[in-house]
Amino acid sequence: MKTNWLDLDDLSEGTYSAVYSDVCNSAGMREKTLEPGAKLLASPSGVLIGWARTAVSTPVTDIPERPYCGEIDFIDSLNVGDVVVLDWSRKPVAARGELFSTASVGRGARGAIIDGLLRDKRLVDKLNKFPVFGRGLRPTDILGRVAIS
């Protein structure tokens, strides 16, 4: 059962990532932390605790008839307390920017972890309580390059 937003906020105030790494080690999940190279890209807070909501991109070459339909469906599936976790490693394009981040906040998501890139950093920073971790920044949009299927 998921806890509510306030419980996750309380939890984030009293812990830090090394504790979770140690818990994962004890549970036999020894490689369940961020890989080197991932860093806080947006938001003043470096704390992100929530329920992982995952998606993987697939490279494409054509602009679809319904652009961004997989990404919009993914955002629509988010619940309060979710953390967006994206594998966008197959092509060097920005997985998230202002619009998808704002929509995620509207659905109650707490932040994002991207094995990939972010665009619109200055605007995502303005969301304030939506930390985004990833590999770097790039303005290149996903349209006609990658998609969630």
Q: What is the pLDDT of residue 6?
A: 56
pLDDT of residue 107: 96
- To the question of pTM greater than 0.85 for the whole model, the response is yes
pLDDT at residue 4, as a whole number: 52
pLDDT tens for 18-47 read: 888 898 899 999 988 888 888 999 987 778
What pLDDT, on a 0 to 100 scale, did the predictor assign at position 98? Answer: 95
Report yes or no: 80 and 51 within 8 Å, Cβ to Cβ: no
pLDDT of residue 12: 80
Domain boundaries, the chain: 36-147
Q: pLDDT at position 62, please?
A: 94
Q: Where are the alpha helices (DSSP H) in 4-141?
A: 5-13, 17-26, 69-76, 98-106, 121-125
The reported pLDDT for the residue numbered 3 is 47
Please name every residue paired with 147 in a beta bridge, in sequence order, or none if there are none: 58
Contact assessment for residue 78 and residue 97, using Cβ atoms and an 8 Å cutoff: no
CATH of region 36-147: 3.50.30.40
Report, as ranges of residue numbers, the positions in the chain whose pLDDT lies below 50. 1, 3, 5
**Cα separation, 38 vs 136, whole angstroms:** 8
